[in-house]
Structure 1
Amino acid sequence: MQYHVKDLSLADVGRDRIEWAEKDMPVLRSIRERFSREKPFQGMRIGACLHVTTETANLVLTLKEGGAEVFLAASNPLSTQDDVAAALVKYFGIHVFAVKGEDTQTYYSHLRAVIESRPNIVIDDGADLISTIHKEYPSLAEEILGGMEETTTGVIRLKAMARDKVLRFPIIAVNDAYTKHMFDNRYGTGQSTIDAILRATNRLLAGSYFVVAGYGWCGKGVAQRARGMGAIVVVTEVDPIKALEARMDGFLVMPMREAAKIGDFFVTVTGNTSVIREEHIRLMKDGAIISNSGHFNVEIDIQALERLSKSKRRIREYVEEYTLEDGRRIYLLAEGRLVNLAAAEGHPASVMDMSFANQALSAEYILKNHSNLQKDVYKVPDEIDRQVAMLKLKAMGIQIDELTPDQIRYLSSWEHGT
């Protein structure tokens, strides 16, 4: 066994938590049962860079049941659940390289440990694993059949690589599956982000001004959940269509320079850099709480916050108090890293059930179809997306209608009019 985890004595707690999550992941369980019979990945190595959580554990165990040898690194220095990492090593034989709070050097050494296992298929969350392969292991890239990417941020990076003709193997953009982004991003990020802010601060949201930067699927989820807690929600956007949608959904919409003056809570979910900058920090009121739920810790200009501050202290776990020169205090959560995994447990298992079902089935698709795919970024095949949705409905005990033969003929004909 190759591994680097915090403490194997945590494994018993981790095993119980993995089992608890599995109870709420019936779609992935049904795929695991089939994989266990068919062993599609027999003799294959799968390298993954994902948040090491109870839900991820159930994905890698599904791949192992399918015959794969799995090597797993964390996709963010603060997202690892150390008890889960220990359980995967001690009880399930997964090669795990992840320690919560690891520094940047350790983070990349863990990625390299996964890469040096010479995986046949890779699964990424943010594209750090895939970009490191391309930068540091170009010859190994030629051996990889293909990979999957879990996040909006990662898909953006990989599409840029494909556009620049540097991508060396095909990628399935799991993030773009309807059963991923419409549910995981909206309901998962929405609930887990609010959960993390409440755990970190124990502050009341009702009646507060809650600023959401970005109105993609993640931003929609955060805004909806914050409104559900009684907050007055403000959305900031650069896309006129999304801004209009946010207004029609009943939210206040304004530039960040205006929102900065009134906000009590701020959450960035754009996938872009420097969303909250020095010019905005200078306008914030005493006690403003800022956080990020995007993948990388670049959305808040932390260096600007440091420059503007005369002192800094940790006042609560995951809460840093910055005192500005004029005495105003700004509170940064989870060091600006994705707050929902750093200060809480990430998405509920029931939504990750669909996301990771897409991952498992896309890995099987890569295995069977890699020779017919170009070095490009592909959407999840519609048949996989629909299969995941149908399996989820079945698990929920929900039945739906089917088209009648007459309806099928009607929809396929151009001859019927008024």
Structure 2
Amino acid sequence: MFQVFSLLVEIILVFALTAALLHRYGDWKRQNAMIVFVVLISWYFSLLTVFVLPLDISSTAYRQCLQSNVSTALNETSFRDPASCKEPWSYIPDRVFQRLWRIVYWTSQFLTWLISRLTPPLCLNFLGLIHMDSHIIKSHILETQYTQIMGHMDVISIISDGFNIYFPIVMIIISTATYFNVGSRLLSIIGFPQYFADDEITEDIVTEGQRLAIAEKDRRLRKGLLAKNEAAESSSYRTEQTNRRSRRDPGSGENLPEPKPTGVLKKTNRYRSRSLSASSTDSYSSSCTGSSSDESDTSPRDKEQRNSKGFTDFCIKNINLHAFGRREIEIAEQEMPGIMALRKRAAEDKPLKGAKIVGCTHVNAQTAVLIETLAELGAKVRWTACNIHSTQNEVAAALAEAGFSIFAWRGESEEDFWWCIDKCVNAPDWQPNILLDDGGDATHLTLKKYPTIFKSLKGIVEESVTGVHRLYQLSRAGKLLVPAMNVNDSVTKTKFDNLYSCRESIVESLKRCTDVMFGGKQVMVCGYGEVGKGCCQSLKALGCIVYVTEIDPICALQACMDGYKVVKVNEVISDVDILITATGNKNVICREHIDRMKNGAILCNMGHSNTEIDVASMRTPELMWERVRSQVEHVIWPDGKRIVLLAEGRLVNMSCSSLPSFVVSITAATEAVALIEMFNAPSGRYKADVYLLPKKLDEFVASLHLPTFDAHLTELTDDQAKYLGLNKNGPFKPHYYRY
């Protein structure tokens, strides 16, 4: 009885171990229940075989000893003492194992999953490899209950029982080689660069697949709803017309005049007019950014496009918008003195002559000024958008009309997004030699699909927090093949674009989308970097009660000294009216947090991409999504609670408002100077690592913008410069100086 109890305890412990492994590595909460059940059973039976089979073998060995004694006693005159066969402490009666293995066998068959059927023999082979059952298998005198139920795996007659040893060895070798990427490493050694063992890229691919599935599901749902609404309106219109025809003037007996049909509008025009009347979200783009019904239904990738000069190497929404786009660009030029001054100074020298630049940034009027400046400096460019919602279609049209290879339109799908980047990187008669990236997407696609391009690449210029993080990860892993310039942490980017720009654009975005009154609202800002600081300053100035979440004790202390309460998300999530993420991280706000937010709370992102807020976790059957304005979604819970999600969790200031052109001028000039430095740097100055922009160039960018304010710098005397140990012309601060 004790042995049977021990077996029962072992079975329970093995199940607990299986459940723990599935919880730790299987992400079971997000999987289908049937998949979780099948995996749990298959893992459980595999581990059960490994842990319980030795008990079956020891019990069988004991029974074999008893049987041998009986046979010897029958053949010999002297009787052998049965006590010479020592009963093992783990001895289990035969009937118990018979029932156990039958349950395992028939359950495996019922699941009809091949690996569940093959796993038990494989585990037997493993035990054979370590000689735990060598006596039983080799002699074939008395089989275990396991082999009687499951059978042997002598699948290759020539090798016969040798398969029980060779097969596990081969499996162990293959598994080990796969785990350590031996094949990829060998290919890299012999000159074929491989992209391997990058958890972040693997995760990006999985996330991309999930997004594509969600986007397709939403597209079909919207299409069905639009068709249903249109059919209902048409039916209502026909009914109304019929009723009107049936009514007659009682005095004359004649029909009343029929009104002109006004009840049914084109579906795209109706929805667009609703968006424009309800919100000024898109006011920074021309109203002509919209399109007709035919244009909305046809993807730009499916249309033949040509500008007035016959140029076709571009893909945009509507080339006919180019005149409006040119107006937007000219307006932006008036507020971008720094980049225009750089264009004027360097146009004759052509410092970028021979440069072939792939750009992946936001496509708007300010970016267009940068693109045309790079062209004036001698570069050839191919450009795409780093955000599917931030493109100004009329600006993209103006660039295409001017002869630039631009691949971007507002409202791209995930598939369109990656297709556009691919078209910029890989094109006939095109070998890029420098990348300008925002977020690292172009860099990582090039690494994954076109690693040979890095042989001709001079470097990468990255302007975002997320992209810089990814570059440093590549550098630490030894996979960064070219030099990279970290523009994001240059002073002219961090202090102006991240701080001053976000300080204004966050308020404008929230106002345009929600018309919210800020006074007295409780706001949580996740992250107190430069972007977070700017958001907190403007919201506090408008009377908001601001909470901050931080992982860095230095930033947290700054927040405390600036008068903000530093908290954990869970502490105030149920009380806040507005939640803003500004971390550059992923899954900062997950479904667990969102479920606890109060009715009517506003959720938006000022970081990068749409990974800071786990939007995918809200795409579930029990939640209903309702678009109430352009870039404004109401996510409705079964109990009626609504959460207001802006820009689908993407950059709210780029999707729902505009950036001050002057601030973008500082960033654009910094990027242009970084490209010039990277392209013209002598061989050997920069290794395959991540570098900050030289301080002298930072100061040069700042000096380009001072004349706008009629600012006059004080010059050091020779004696003062000697005393400070500085050059009179700069740089004036060391790299470690904190502005």
Instruction: Tell me the residue number matched to 1:104.
Output: 414
Deviations 1:210-257 (A, max 9, x none): 211100001001111112222221111121211111111111221111
**Deviation for aligned residue 1:309:** 4.6
Instruction: Tell me the residue number matched to 2:369.
Output: 58
CA distance in 1, matches of 2:538, 2:323: 33
**Following superposition of structure 1 onto structure 2, how do residues 348-387 of structure 1 map, counting pairs within 5 Å?**
348-369=660-681, 371-372=683-684, 373-387=686-700
Instruction: Tell me the residue number matched to 2:438.
Output: 125
**Deviation for aligned residue 1:370:** 5.2
**Deviation for aligned residue 1:193:** 2.2
CA distance in 2, matches of 1:271, 1:368: 31
1:89 pairs with 2:388: no
Unaligned 5+ runs, structure 1:
414-418
**Deviation for aligned residue 1:338:** 0.7
Secondary structure in 2 matching 1:262? coil
Contact 1:308 1:325 in 2 (8 A): no
Secondary structure in 2 matching 1:176? coil
**Deviation for aligned residue 1:72:** 0.5
CA distance in 2, matches of 1:353, 1:301: 33
CA distance in 1, matches of 2:637, 2:342: 53
Runs of 4+ with >4 A deviation: none
CA distance in 1, matches of 2:321, 2:541: 36
CA distance in 1, matches of 2:673, 2:643: 44
**Deviation for aligned residue 1:264:** 0.6
Of 631, 640, 658, the match for 1:327: 640
Instruction: Tell me the residue number matched to 2:722.
Output: 409
CA distance in 2, matches of 1:39, 1:280: 53
CA distance in 1, matches of 2:642, 2:670: 43
**Deviation for aligned residue 1:43:** 3.3
* AA of the residue aligned to 1:368: N
Instruction: Tell me the residue number matched to 1:24.
Output: 335
**Following superposition of structure 1 onto structure 2, how do residues 282-301 of structure 1 map, counting pairs within 5 Å?**
282-301=595-614
Secondary structure in 2 matching 1:299? coil
**Deviation for aligned residue 1:308:** 8.5
Deviations 1:182-231 (A, max 9, x none): 11001112222221111111111122112111000010011111122222
Deviations 1:30-60 (A, max 9, x none): 1111232111222332110010011111111
Of 519, 529, 554, the match for 1:241: 554
Contact 2:475 2:690 in 1 (8 A): yes
**Deviation for aligned residue 1:5:** 0.4
CA distance in 2, matches of 1:237, 1:308: 33
Contact 1:170 1:370 in 2 (8 A): no
CA distance in 1, matches of 2:460, 2:431: 13
Deviations 1:300-359 (A, max 9, x none): 1113333495322112221111122332111111111111111122x2111111111111
* AA of the residue aligned to 1:93: G
Q: TM-score, normalised by structure 2?
A: 0.54
Of 267, 288, 300, the match for 2:580: 267
Of 162, 174, 193, the match for 2:487: 174
Q: Which has the higher helix share?
A: 2
Instruction: Tell me the residue number matched to 1:392.
Output: 705
1:316 pairs with 2:626: no
Instruction: Tell me the residue number matched to 1:3.
Output: 314
**Following superposition of structure 1 onto structure 2, how do residues 128-277 of structure 1 map, counting pairs within 5 Å?**
128-277=441-590
Bigger mean CA offset, 30-39 vs 352-361: 30-39
Contact 1:309 1:322 in 2 (8 A): no
Contact 1:134 1:168 in 2 (8 A): no
CA distance in 1, matches of 2:364, 2:505: 13
Deviations 1:351-408 (A, max 9, x none): 1111111111111111211512101111001111011112212332111222233322
Contact 2:352 2:379 in 1 (8 A): yes
Q: Which has the higher strand share?
A: 1
* AA of the residue aligned to 1:131: H
Bigger mean CA offset, 349-358 vs 184-193: 184-193
Secondary structure in 1 matching 2:681? helix
Instruction: Tell me the residue number matched to 2:617.
Output: 304
* AA of the residue aligned to 2:392: Q
Deviations 1:272-320 (A, max 9, x none): 1111122212221111010011111011111333349532211222111
